[in-house]
Structure 1
Amino acid sequence: MSDSHRSRTSLTRTSLTRTLFARTSRTRTSRLRAKLRRTVVAAVASLCLLGAVPGTAGAATNYPVPYSFGAGIAAQLLHPGSAPVGANDFGCRPSTEHPYPVVLVHGTFGNMTDSWQSLSPLLANNGYCVFALDYGGSPGNLFQGYGDIPASAGQLAAFVDRVLAATGAPKVDIVGHSQGGMMPRYFIRNLGGAPKVHELVGLAPSNHGTTLWGLLNLLQAYPGGSQFLTSSCVACVQQTAGSDFMNALNADGDTVPGVHYTVISTRYDWAVTPLESTFLHGPDTTNIIVQDKCRSDFADHLALIYDQVALREVLNALDPAHAKRTCAVVLPVLGG
């Protein structure tokens, strides 16, 4: 064999070896990435006690109820834009014990997926027909609830009509968080919603606006600050204490006859401040502070929707004849 032939053979073997090595490396890398993805997904699901798997109201009688905001985060990661567990079965028919379907309304920058992975299955397990919607944002957007509040109330009105038509119920109960506990009041007062609503339960609702420790007012004091807020979050401006929207909403009193109101608040709220801004005053109105029920409850504004103490009070408001009390250690942000 000539030297040149040996050289070509050696180069060919080297090239072949490098090609095989490269292919093997890519295959191994691909397998490692796939394994890593599976591991991450499994870890998130297990941390959330499998509470992020979507379902419908009639599909099970005992959904898992994870009292952790991690369940909402996992649901958003794994099933973005999905209805919360136990919600939006439009074939559900209310029972005699619970004749009113429950409509869940998320807060500013929230959505139905990350907000209701605890309350929705809890309600379904207790025999309610449960429904949830996104509003006040572009369809498919992670962030919702930042748009004009009267327009959002119009979306709620259309959704309530759809729920009533599907279920045959005469009225709905509404449970909302933050803006979602206040915005339905516009629907009730201004859009003909009063005859369609039996109970409104607000979890840390922005009923009289918020100073947000003065940050909203501070931002609006800067040149262009108000324009920035208006263009990026109209609902934020409208929820500022003393805004034209807030003044008009509360001008003729907080409540409307014929509707029952319950407010559930926390002393550790950092979003709706001061605490008294959440309260309503009028007939058929109950204001609850969770720390008055349970001293070990440290839920803040976010954790309240994954707080078993607060959510027990939601059940009590919807069904006062079977009211119960619970107490647990509840952490800020995470819930419990």
Structure 2
Amino acid sequence: MLPWKRVLRPLSALCLTVTVALVPAVTTAQAADTAAASDRGWNDYSCNPSAAHPRPVVLVHGTFGNSVDNWLGLAPYLKDRGYCVFSLDYGQLPGVRFFHGLGPVDKSAEQLKSFVDKVLTATGAAETDLVGHSQGGMMPRYYVKFLGGAAKVKALVGIAPSSHGTDLGGLTNLLPYFPGAEDLLTTATPALADQIVGSALLARLNEGGDTVPGVSYTVLATRHDEVVTPYRSQFLSGSDVRNILLQDLCPVDLAEHVSIGLFDRIAFHEVANALDPAHATPTTCASAVG
């Protein structure tokens, strides 16, 4: 591959991620809030968890995402299977509408803490399960590790999570060659800076181990991820961890970073398995239509 293509390919991937996120956000601009999610069947605070699914599920969107558009596929999928499902907006920046997950990760984790407490109070449940996409699969680990979340979270499922950061196919290695670029990134979009390989946030998060006792972790990754790269950096190490590559379940699954969270039903099936392992069923290519 030509050198300039090595630079442009990950940059194009990032632009693609933002563009794909932009389209549904614009089409649902009037509804990108908690009320809209409730209208679609989730964020129903009168929902009573069943004996079969006693823990409410909190969905945590990714960078540039929001509580509605990120979950138009997975939230109904889980609701149809009897779960109480909730989603939140976090990481908002002043003057930026609809595109969230941009603020400092540690502050976003505090927002998640408050939201989980709200959900547990409303539902009467003692614990919740968390499912997050991209940053939404990494940030909850900060809540679990540092903000008391381990006592309130049973399962954490990360869909293409930025567990150990990303180099965007090597693009971040170019930042030192552009004076002021790193400072601008930190100031304008702190969450992006926090997700770069080697960031202070990630060093603290992963120091002493990726996991904490009492929480079960599942990571769903795709070989075709063009944003959190290399894709194996998404995987976690620990005693209660399942790292899953979608192509090991269905070799022809072409999901990349965005689609794995938005509408890949093979990933959705594995999410359901992670939330209810006692009744898990094998995931195959046929799960795409299940």
Instruction: Look up the match of 1:89.
Output: 44
Instruction: Look up the match of 1:277.
Output: 233
Distance in 1 (alpha carbons) for counterparts of 2:133 and 2:160: 6
Distance in 1 (alpha carbons) for counterparts of 2:286 and 2:173: 36
Distance in 2 (alpha carbons) for counterparts of 1:164 and 1:259: 17
Equivalent residue letter for 1:316 = N
Equivalent residue letter for 1:311 = F
TM-score by length of 1: 0.74
Distance in 2 (alpha carbons) for counterparts of 1:170 and 1:160: 11
**Whose relative contact order is higher, 1 or 2, with alpha carbons under 8 Å and at least 6 apart?**
2
The count of corresponding residues between Structure 1 and Structure 2 is 264
Partner secondary structure for residue 68 of structure 2: helix
Distance in 2 (alpha carbons) for counterparts of 1:272 and 1:209: 7
5+ residue gaps, structure 2: 1-19
2:77 is the counterpart of 1:119: no
5+ residue gaps, structure 1: 1-67, 331-335
Cα deviation digits, residues 258-290 of structure 1 (max 9, x gap): 000000000000111111110001011000000
Equivalent residue letter for 1:83 = A
Contact kept in structure 1, 2:25 and 2:32, CA below 8 Å: no
Root mean square deviation of aligned Cα: 2.2
Equivalent residue letter for 2:245 = I
2:97 is the counterpart of 1:141: yes
Distance in 1 (alpha carbons) for counterparts of 2:81 and 2:25: 24
Distance in 1 (alpha carbons) for counterparts of 2:102 and 2:120: 26
Instruction: Look up the match of 2:255.
Output: 299
Where do 1:169-180 residues align within 5 Å? 169-180=125-136
2:280 is the counterpart of 1:327: no
Distance in 2 (alpha carbons) for counterparts of 1:216 and 1:77: 32
Contact kept in structure 1, 2:29 and 2:98, CA below 8 Å: no
- Runs (4+) of structure 1 moved beyond 2 Å? 68-82
Distance in 2 (alpha carbons) for counterparts of 1:110 and 1:299: 18
2:183 is the counterpart of 1:227: yes
**Which is worse superposed, 275-284 or 149-158?**
275-284
Describe the shift of the 1:132–1:199 C-alpha distance in structure 2 as closer, same or farther (beyond 3 A). Answer: same
Whichever of the two has the greater Rg, that structure is 1
Instruction: Look up the match of 1:190.
Output: 146
Q: Identity of paired residues, percent?
A: 53
Instruction: Look up the match of 2:273.
Output: 316
2:31 is the counterpart of 1:76: no
TM-score by length of 2: 0.86
Equivalent residue letter for 1:310 = A
Instruction: Look up the match of 1:252.
Output: 208
